[in-house]
Amino acid sequence: MRFIATWARNPDLVPLPFQEEDGARDVILPRLHGDPFDRGLVSQAIRRNLTIVTPDPLIRRYPVPVLWQ
């Protein structure tokens, strides 16, 4: 919770809303990942040309840039 409280005070970081277009893309994604929240993140990243930071190997199977070392 401390991280969230600190993050919330950072003016350079803003929450990314889940929009109708994200949900529409989620429906056409292949079911490579069983977690609907993670598929939603992938949908948002694809639509907005964003990179996902995650160690999840299943997310790497989607056509989205992933950063994790």
Domain hosting 50: range is 18-67
Is residue 8 assigned to a domain?
no
Q: Residue 4 has what pLDDT?
A: 64
pTM: 0.75
Is residue 11 assigned to a domain?
no
Is residue 63 assigned to a domain?
yes
Structural domains in the chain (count): 1
**pLDDT (mean) for 2-27:** 78
Is residue 5 assigned to a domain?
no
**pLDDT (mean) for 55-64:** 93
Q: Residue 45 has what pLDDT?
A: 94
Is residue 2 assigned to a domain?
no
* Rounded Cα–Cα distance for residues 3 and 6 (Å): 5
The phi and psi torsions of 52 (rounded to 5 degrees) equal -95, 135
Is residue 12 assigned to a domain?
no
* Rounded Cα–Cα distance for residues 48 and 40 (Å): 12
